[in-house]
Structure 1
């Protein structure tokens, strides 16, 4: 499982012109699920998302987590993160989880996140989404579990 996280001052996801998920300060996480991922991957990724220290402390150092700052978490499924891009000029998606597995694990991640964090929003699995964000920093990291 991979998550491309971006520290944002605001982010939202639209589907067909309708806002389906939005947050103010927090993290936007684009989530890619691979065939070997399972419930343990979900638990490890959620722990990292909630506790990864990317927010500034009083001295301006990245020492505070999403839990520490009470920010929002916007989870967006993005199977293209699992693409094989090592060769050629076109991505291969054979390294991405099949849609049924990807949706089940993404739904599990969302459910667990909502149990553990008060502000969780999502995109819509499998939809053509427009993601709008204000990257704060910019700060972007690729997390892998």
Structure 2
């Protein structure tokens, strides 16, 4: 699993001109899933995400987690995170999991992240053409891949 985590002031997802989800301060997370990923990968990511200390404390130092600031999370599935650009100019998405693997794992990830956060996680819509809007705060952007967790 790969994630791109952006610390945001606000973020939203619009589908067919209708706002599906919106958050205030927190994380906008893009999630890419490959066929080899498992619930163990999702569990590891959830724990890392809610404990990331990337929010400012009273001294302006990034020392607080999303739990400390009672932030919100918006998760959007993004198969293009699994792109391979080794050959040619057209990315290959062969590593991206098919719907039969990706949908249940995406739903599991969002559910476990909600539990870890202690509140509902907002989502996009798997497979939809989504318009994502956000205001990156910092900017702070963190990339993680469960294949590099050691």
Scaled by the length of structure 2, the TM-score of the pair is: 0.93
> Does the aligned pair in 2 maintain the 1:71–1:119 contact within 8 Å?
no
Aligned to 1:47: 47
Structure 2 gap ranges (5+): none
Indicate the SS of the match to 1:42: helix
Q: What is the Cα deviation at residue 17 of structure 1? A: 0.9
> Does the aligned pair in 1 maintain the 2:47–2:116 contact within 8 Å?
no
Aligned to 1:56: 56
User: Hey, what's the Cα distance between the residues in 2 that align with 1:87 and 1:48?
Assistant: 32
User: Hey, what's the Cα distance between the residues in 1 that align with 2:50 and 2:85?
Assistant: 28
Q: What is the Cα deviation at residue 119 of structure 1? A: 4.2
Q: What is the Cα deviation at residue 20 of structure 1? A: 1.0
Aligned to 1:80: 80
User: Hey, what's the Cα distance between the residues in 2 that align with 1:96 and 1:38?
Assistant: 13
Cα deviations by residue, 1:83-103 (Å, 9 ceiling, x for unpaired): 112332010001111122111
Q: What is the Cα deviation at residue 116 of structure 1? A: 2.5
User: Hey, what's the Cα distance between the residues in 1 that align with 2:139 and 2:114?
Assistant: 26
- Structure 1 residue runs of 4 or more that deviate by more than 6 Å after TM superposition: none
Aligned to 2:142: 141
Aligned to 2:94: 94
